[in-house]
Amino acid sequence: MRVGFFLPQVGPAASPGAIVKVAKRAEDLKYDSLWVTERLLYALEPQTSYYGGPLPEVYKRVFDPLETLTFAAAHTSRIALGTSVLDIPFYNPVLLARRLTTLDVLSDGRLRVGLGLGWSKDEHDAAGASMKARGQRASEFIKVLKTIWTTDPSEFHGKYFQLPKSIIQPKPVQKPHPPIYLAAFAPQALKRTAKLADGWMPVGVPIDGLKSMTAQLRSMAQSAGRNPADLKLVLRYNLSITPKPLGSDRSFFSGTLDQIKDDIKAVKDLGPDELLLDVTFSPDSQTEASFLSYLERIRKLI
């Protein structure tokens, strides 16, 4: 099982120096990958609730994901660099394909592309994006990315996106293209993952839910004429680390590091391809020093 760690890109700990130190130390500790997330803005009067509650305070300070990864790429040489996730409605596929290609080339083929649909109406409004027909647009969006990455000249004519026959160079280092992972929960989103993606990247799903959804996804992949084993399982968990143990009703990946170690073992027994851990939301991880400390301590758990 590969192990990834999130860069200090969000919250009070986020700074150029912290990003460089965590990226370099993660590579020294032989982590497999570094990750960033996307948050466009912090709405003061949100139209959409955040999983039933207010937006975490850490989201008031967020570095752009792709610029952060490019910066980290310049200070590392081996470790993979991924997005968990970029929100498709905020982007044009031709422009994003070029940006992602550039990052893959500059990092010598280390890019991993996690994509999602987003959930905040405020962010969609600010980006000039519609929340209607997001699924259909996403499917076409992914096809445009693949077309640009794998054909020369490239051409695409769809319902939502148009690309005249064109030369778009360079192409990604990775062949046929950087891996695409989708964050999906609804049945239609899982079908999109099964048909178009290289892997599934759920966030915070408990063990029982993972078992049933993974089985459903693999069945969908088989129905789509794909080998289910070709779909990677990349699991992301946001850690809430506490100094004292929590009770039996604690949430998955919350509590002391010893309790979280038990959760890591439970996930590992499922046989995922990669486990991504984010300490951004833990109350005592809001400094560069605390991020580095958790980077070291978590590596010892696995």
Integer Cα distance of 80 and 31 in angstroms:
9
For residue 123, the enclosing domain spans 2-301
Q: Report angle CA 60, 8, 234 to the nearest 5 degrees.
A: 105
Integer Cα distance of 13 and 21 in angstroms:
12
Residue from 239, 138, 120 nearest 190 by CA: 138
Cβ proximity of 12 and 285 under 8 Å = no
Task: Read off the pLDDT band of 89 (50, 70, 90).
Answer: very high
What digits encode the pLDDT tens for the residues 156-198? 999 999 999 999 999 999 999 999 999 999 999 999 999 999 9
Residues whose CB falls within 8 Å of the CB of residue 156, separated by 6 or more in sequence, listed in order: 143, 144, 147, 162, 163
pTM as predicted: 0.96
Does the pLDDT value for residue 150 go beyond 90? yes
Structure tokens at 279: 């300490």
Q: What is the CATH number of the domain that holds 243?
A: 3.20.20.30
What digits encode the pLDDT tens for the residues 99-117? 999 999 999 999 999 999 9
Q: Write the DSSP assignment of 101-147 as a string of letters.
A: HHHHHHTTS-EEEEEE----HHHHHHHT--STTHHHHHHHHHHHHHH
Q: Write the DSSP assignment of 165-195 as a string of letters.
A: EE------SSSS---EEE---SHHHHHHHHH
Residue from 120, 144, 115 nearest 131 by CA: 120
User: Would you say how long the chain is, in residues?
Assistant: 302
* Residue 292 parent element (H or E): helix 288-301
Integer Cα distance of 86 and 231 in angstroms:
19
- Beta-bridge mates of residue 182: 115, 200
What digits encode the pLDDT tens for the residues 36-80? 999 999 999 999 999 878 899 999 999 999 999 999 999 999 999
Percentage of the chain lying above the pLDDT 90 cut: 95
pLDDT of residue 283: 87
pLDDT of residue 11: 97
- Number of domains composing the chain: 1
Backbone torsions φ then ψ of 301, nearest 5 degrees: -75, -25
Structure tokens at 62: 């967020």
> Would you tell me how many other CB atoms lie within 10 Å of the CB of residue 240?
18
